[in-house]
Chains A and B, each alone.
Chain A
Amino acid sequence: MVRFLLNNEPVELQVDDPNLTVLRYLREQKSRCGTKEGCGAGDCGACTVVVATPTPEGDQLDYRTINSCISLMSSLHGKQLITVENLGEAQSLHPVQQAMVDNHGSQCGFCTPGFIMSAFALYHSSKTIDREEAIHALSGNLCRCTGYRPIIDAALSACAHRQPDQFDKQQAQTLKALAALNAESSNQKATSLLMPKNRLELGQAINTHPEAKLVAGSTDLALEITQGQKQFQTLISLSQMAELKQIEKSNNALQIGAMAPLNEVATAITASYPELEELFTRFASLPIRNQATLGGNIANASPIGDTPPLMLALEANLVLDNGEQSRTLPAREFFTGYRQTALAQNEWISQVVLPCKLANQQVSAYKISKRHEDDISAVCAVFSLVIENNVIKKLKTGFGGVAATPVACLELEQALLGLNWSDPTCVTLGKGILADAFSPIDDVRATAAYRKQVLANLWHRFWLEHQTDNQIPTRVVSHA
């Protein structure tokens, strides 16, 4: 049984079809057609809705956008689902809606509900909203008509004068209602959707349904349903696995639960590695990062995922579990082939252990794609360098988009050791090695030749950017 609030109305839903998406539930079962389907793949944001959950302290609500077209109903359990039809009060529009009207932010209007929901979540964020922040918040929403300027203006103007809205006023009641939902047992009677709550239950679920897929954020799995017409008989949702969502820091390492959503992961990692902000900001879009998990991105083992190269370069360890025993495996030994991993059939990733940054460590993560935002890497390159007295003591790398798996370049890691970092030989040597290190493919994103050339040139960029007192501009877009 999935229990949630649809706006303010408690819903108890027996999910017989584990493939049911939130979007189809809204449009087909509830006739709430304000939420639109633009692509069915989490790429356009027309289906954006907001999910409110209690903060860890439990006294506030956290409002996050998700793409309802690739969210499964199981992800809603214990949460409040807010849709565009319910933002306004009686006769008046919500401030973000009014600002959108006043700034002429809608033309054809089809993307508008999604933008409104993203702006609504932004309205409820505690941050100070400047242009860049507004753009980040709306980066998962595509508009084909306006060119975005009026939408940016609308978001800024609505957030410039934030007043408590009806959701703030009802917060205490909502928290109470959510607590009541969560207090009830979430036992799913049907066998098509399992929602284990701890590692023992998860281990049992896998044993009884060895054919069933695990669902974390569903941002990739749901594509098989919405794009591939696939119908899963049984799914095991990890949404109730609280123990997989913890992020802790100890002994110079971050222990990141595999189910932690990428935005929380980003906050934790960038606290230690501020230079990785760019990679996380450019990882898909905000609604995707609100949903997608680090464990999912790694276990998926896609050669074009953006966190695996990071795991390789930062020498992360993965904790693998089967409910009975767990083991630790270096990320560098995890990817065994195209979308193949070292996971046993009954194992899952429970934790990612990432060493904290050393004082003399220098890290850069570069992503190259056709579009700057919300695109998949043609090439992703992560370099991690340790220097003592200007001499290279350690170099670790991780790359995406250049091979069948996320991959490191051991030749480069070895060849540069002991060299003087400011010696331009480092550039030529590194470029030479990287240009021929891999055999990438031609595909829709880029040719093999471009991938090889860019890989070499990114090493050049890395070298330039990490020279002391570098004055040479190297970026067309800089992330704060």
Chain B
Amino acid sequence: MRKLIDTQPTSTTNSPLGKGRAHESAIRQVCGEARYVDDIPEPGNIAYAAIGTCPYTTGTIDSMDLTEVKKSDGVLDVITIDDIPGHTDIAPVFDGDPILADNLLLFHGQPVFAVLAETVDQARRAATKAKITVTETEPTLSVEQALKQKTFVRPTHTFGNANAMDTVNKASHVIQGTLDIGGQEHMYLEGQVSLAVPDEEDRMKIYTSSQHPSEVQKLVAEVLGINLHRVIVDMRRMGGGFGGKESQAAQWACLAAVFAKRNKRAVKFRLPRQQDMTVTGKRHPFENRWQVGFNDEGLIQGAEIEVNGNCGYSADLSDAIVDRAMFHVDNGYYLGDSHVVGHRLKTSYVSHTAYRGFGGPQGMIVAEAIMDGIARKLGEDPLTVRKRNLYSENTGFTTPYGMTVEDNILPEMIAEVETRCDYWQRRQAIASFNRSSPVIKKGLALTPVKFGISFTAKHLNQAGALVHIYTDGTIQVNHGGTEMGQGLHTKIAQIAAHEFGIDMDDIEVTATRTDKVPNTSPTAASSGTDLNGKAVQNACVIIKQRLVDFWAKELGLSADNAVFKNKALHIGEHHIGFAELVQAAYMARVSLSSTGYYRTPKIFYDRDKGTGRPFFYFAYGVAATEVMIDTLTGENRVTRVDILHDVGASLNPAIDKGQIEGGFIQGMGWLTTEELKWDASGKLLSNNMATYKIPAIGDTPPIMNVDLYNRPNAQDSIYHSKAVGEPPFMLAISVWCALKDAISSLTDYGHDPYLPTPATPERILQAVEQAKHSANKESDL
């Protein structure tokens, strides 16, 4: 067998790997030239769609009078579910997501019909003119109610020892806790949008802002009642996704396609912001509870943990989301004899969906709440308790779901941050500040992240690529991943440039298209580069082998030690320029195009037994955060953050740092200012940017030190890098813990305050009042 071509980066070449290259679209973005779906020059026969809703939460639609809608200026077509030619359920995995209301109303603001008109305004105005009568039914508007009614979107899953409570009860100390965890609006700056262009006969071309073009292709085909090979989906870039365009971008593409087919016109469907916020799902709110037994050292002996995901009206991706919450209730800690239960509750809200972390954050926060609880109970510093409970020789290496933690680097990462951020000195300084400051209190917390990398749905862990070399030596790379700002295409271009030893300028990563690479997985689970990078590398290696074989034969040499570097192929003493090589190969009839493929090794999960290795590896991180709170108003500020994050051997440190900083701030928003509010009838009140507040520029901590932990992935991932999209989001749990630490100072750290999330000023003030109250009670005794 021939020796494989070296795929490791070497410092002697022009390789862009490991360098902080700018985002491939950066120049176009700063000039306003980067095109999003709404910017694509419109076909001449375009019309615009809008959806109509009705102001009830749940019930049966008795009548729908659309006369005024149809008569409204500029209206071309109006459809209900009865007008859908093919499938009417566009659910991604399990049934239950009607494309338009199917007799039953499932949540407040559900799309009931759709309008097509000559202008956007005409369509949106017409959509307000329907007369719909509904017999209302009682909605389910809380997790508690759903638990009582036993209404689930999917069956409950459990793992661990069902008798773990025996161990918990035998422990010297037991704490129990509950936590309400708020959801989160994705607030991608570019809202949901699709453009459907009818092609010959019944063929359809779709431009969409979606993380999952293959699913859009499938659903459009099904809704139209045609086969997949007649639909092409093109996705160049999204203006942000964050999970919100994984399953829930499809509906708008499908509706546009139905109109396009019926009217033989191109159809654009862009949701106005308020509607976008109302009709698309959010991060799942969770209500979690736990009982934990521990010894005098604070070491956990056993744990019984229940996570309750508020899934909304349908399953969507909730099964996997609640699973991931369950897989992360341990975070980096050994839970001893443990049992984990995950309920997927069916409620009368919009169907909650994927969001960066995919349930992981809502599970992981439980572990950190437990650490705080143990620390306050024992009067120890929370960091001491955290360190003691980490997976280690002292504790154990087996997770509650039976996976062995192999590359356990958290102890050394925590030690590094502890030193770098002067944790103990600052702890002292904060204590003394708090003693002398009656109104403003400071808090500090250092929390770790251990996040499992792989789709927990095993079949999604595969990827394809298609690489073309043209005769001038330039290359087009296609792959199944989508670009939403995370820098995937930049990393892919770096990989291809490295493989061929050429400049990134000679690599063009094209729009993601279902006719270039078929049957792709969503760009989700932080897996974009891991999966597609390997697939692209595989395609490159195949072509490289052909080129090496060809040129070695020309030279009459062995192909051993062939290297592509510095825009040339080198074999022994010989080298040939890349473009020259490509032209010679072309003339000699060597194929210059190849597909590539990758599937993640090692992973499996036995759902019946609740054990397995659902993750190829873990990505780690550590954050130390300092905050200030105002005990008169609940106002607060993150004043300093120190982060050390594990990205393996970084493919692009600048992009990785961008993911870490951006993830942290987004997580901070989730836990502080971003409050979803529904009224008593189930109507979303925080339905625009004036009432739902994501972090603004002034919320960026004035001191934010972010470092990459420089150690290659122990697993054979793409050049031993690690996934980075989601894990840093959870570094922000340190903000929540630091806020609690500040509040806890009011009781001389004797009480662990109850602080549901998001910790808005109002909630912080409530917790402050409770702390003052319990401190007073104490001093009265």
Contact = CB atoms under 8 A, between A and B. Distances in A.
* Mutual binders A and B: yes
Interface of A: 31-41, 43-44, 46, 83-85, 87-88, 93, 97-98, 100-102, 104, 106-113, 116, 131, 135, 138-139, 141-152, 227, 229, 231, 368-376, 378, 443-447, 450, 453-454, 457-458, 460-461, 464, 472-477
Interface of B: 20, 22-23, 25-36, 38-39, 41, 121, 124-125, 128, 186-191, 237-242, 272-274, 437-440, 484-487, 628-630, 632-637, 654-655, 657-658, 661-666, 673, 675, 677, 685-686, 688-691, 693-700, 702, 704, 760-762, 765-766
B633 A458 contact: yes
A460 B137 CA distance: 48
A377 to B, nearest CB: 12
B125 to A, nearest CB: 5
Given A34-B33, A43-B688, 15 more contacts: A44-B689, A100-B30, A101-B22, A104-B23, A112-B30, A135-B698, A142-B187, A229-B121, A231-B121, A370-B761, A373-B698, A443-B685, A461-B633, A474-B632, A476-B440
A194 to B, nearest CB: 23
Given A44-B189, A84-B32, A109 B239 contact: yes
A145 to B, nearest CB: 5
Contacts of B698: 135, 139, 372-373, 477
A142 B686 contact: no
Given A139-B698, A371-B693, A33 B661 contact: no
B691 A445 contact: yes
Contacts of A43: 688-690
B32 A108 contact: no
A56 to B, nearest CB: 30
B189 A111 contact: yes
Contacts, number: 255
B237 A109 contact: yes
Given A93-B27, A107-B487, A368 B38 contact: no
Contacts of A443: 685
B73 to A, nearest CB: 10
Nearest to A118: B697
B700 A147 contact: yes
Contacts of B637: 372, 476-477
A239 B557 CA distance: 80
Contacts of B760: 370
A289 B38 CA distance: 29
Contact of A473 (B273, B437, B688): B437
B689 A142 contact: yes
Nearest to A477: B637
Nearest to A117: B32
Nearest to A33: B39
A41 B697 contact: no
Contact of B189 (A116, A142, A227): A142
Q: In this complex, which of B437, B636, B654, B662 has the most chain A Cβ atoms within 10 angstroms of its Cβ?
A: B662
B699 A371 contact: yes
Nearest to A109: B29
B409 to A, nearest CB: 24
Contacts of B628: 476
A339 to B, nearest CB: 17
Contacts of B690: 41, 43, 376
B33 A110 contact: no
A149 B704 contact: yes
B684 to A, nearest CB: 9
Classify the secondary structure of A's interface with B.
loop
A148 B699 CA distance: 9
Nearest to A375: B693
A139 B26 CA distance: 22
A116 to B, nearest CB: 6
B696 A146 contact: no
A106 B23 contact: yes
A144 B690 CA distance: 15
A109 B700 contact: no
Contacts of A36: 36, 189-190, 239
7 contacts: A43-B688, A106-B25, A106-B26, A108-B189, A147-B661, A147-B664, A370-B673
Contacts of B662: 107, 144-147
A74 to B, nearest CB: 19
A420 B455 CA distance: 68
Nearest to B127: A229
A105 to B, nearest CB: 8
Closest 10 CB pairs of A and B: A34-B32, A108-B485, A110-B239, A109-B29, A147-B665, A43-B689, A107-B485, A84-B32, A33-B39, A371-B693
Contacts of B33: 34, 85
Given A31-B41, A370-B675, A461-B439, A40 B273 contact: yes
A473 B695 CA distance: 25
A442 B30 CA distance: 42
A104 B27 contact: no
Nearest to A114: B189
Contacts of B272: 40, 227
Q: Among A112, A113, A453, which residue has the most Cβ atoms of chain B within 10 A?
A: A112
Contacts of B689: 38-39, 41, 43-44, 142
A444 B699 contact: no
A117 B653 CA distance: 27
A213 B366 CA distance: 54
Contact of B32 (A83, A372, A460): A83
A185 B345 CA distance: 66
With a 10 A CB-CB cut-off, give which of A43, A149, A450 has the most chain B CB atoms.
Answer: A149
Contacts of A374: 696
Contacts of A227: 272, 274, 688
A444 B697 contact: no
Nearest to B635: A476
Contacts of B34: 109, 112
A473 B655 contact: no
B14 to A, nearest CB: 21
Contacts of B20: 104
Contacts of B124: 229
A432 to B, nearest CB: 16
A142 B675 contact: no
Contact of B697 (A37, A87, A139): A139
A474 B440 contact: yes
A88 B661 contact: no
A282 B240 CA distance: 27
A101 B654 CA distance: 11
Given A35-B32, A368-B635, A454-B765, A104 B189 contact: no
Contacts of A229: 121, 124-125, 128
Contacts of B635: 368, 372, 476-477
Contacts of B41: 31
Contacts of A139: 696-698
B439 A472 contact: yes
Contacts of A37: 38
B691 A444 contact: yes
B29 A106 contact: yes
Contacts of A46: 189
Given A41-B688, A461-B632, A475-B630, A110 B664 contact: no
Given A108-B239, A229-B124, A474 B190 contact: no
Contacts of A98: 30
A475 to B, nearest CB: 7
Contacts of B630: 474-476
Given A36-B189, A97-B30, A444-B677, A152 B633 contact: no
Given A34-B32, A460-B632, A472-B439, A138 B26 contact: no
B715 to A, nearest CB: 27
Nearest to A19: B121
A113 B190 CA distance: 13
A116 B30 CA distance: 7
Nearest to B438: A472
Most chain A CB inside 10 Å of its own CB: which residue of B23, B128, B186:
B23
A284 B690 CA distance: 10
